[in-house]
Amino acid sequence: MNKQVWIEKALGLGIQEFEIYQSTTVEKEMTWFQGQMDTLVSSKVTGTSIRGIVDGKMANMALEEIDDSMCETVLKSLIEQAHIISNEETDSLRKPEPIEYAKKDVTWNMA
């Protein structure tokens, strides 16, 4: 997913604020039978959530498989979703905030 392409397309379609969040989950599962490995299953899934503000209404979507060819279709669907919202309040996304990492000294004690 080329995030810059998605952001530019979203803004070009009239989405006033746009956010992309992705997380990747990696899992490995093994089963053993009579002291030997019976099965090994490995998976890697990247989940993508997008949300945007259209005419003051926030809409969001969660996608498991995504590529740039889906960009316009998905964003138009997000816009349609925002237009159906009947809430009278105006929504906004949180502004980016700096992240501070605590620096810790790690000491290993090997007895």
* pLDDT at position 10 over 50: yes
Q: Would you state the pLDDT for residue 19?
A: 92
Among 3-7, 80-84, 107-111, name the one with the lowest average pLDDT. Answer: 107-111
Mean pLDDT confidence for 9-31: 92
Average pLDDT value for residue range 8-31: 92
| pLDDT value for 97 | 73
Q: Grade residue 86 by pLDDT with cuts at 50, 70 and 90.
A: low
Q: Is residue 89 part of a domain?
A: no
Domain harbouring 51, CATH code: 3.30.2290.10
* Span 40-50, average pLDDT: 91
58 in a structural domain: yes
Domain that holds residue 74: 3-84
Give 52-85 pLDDT, tens digit per residue.
Answer: 999 889 999 999 888 899 999 999 999 999 988 7
CA distances from 26 to 7, 23, 44, 48, 82 (A): 27, 10, 4, 15, 32
pLDDT for residue 52: 93
Residue 50 counted as domain residue: yes
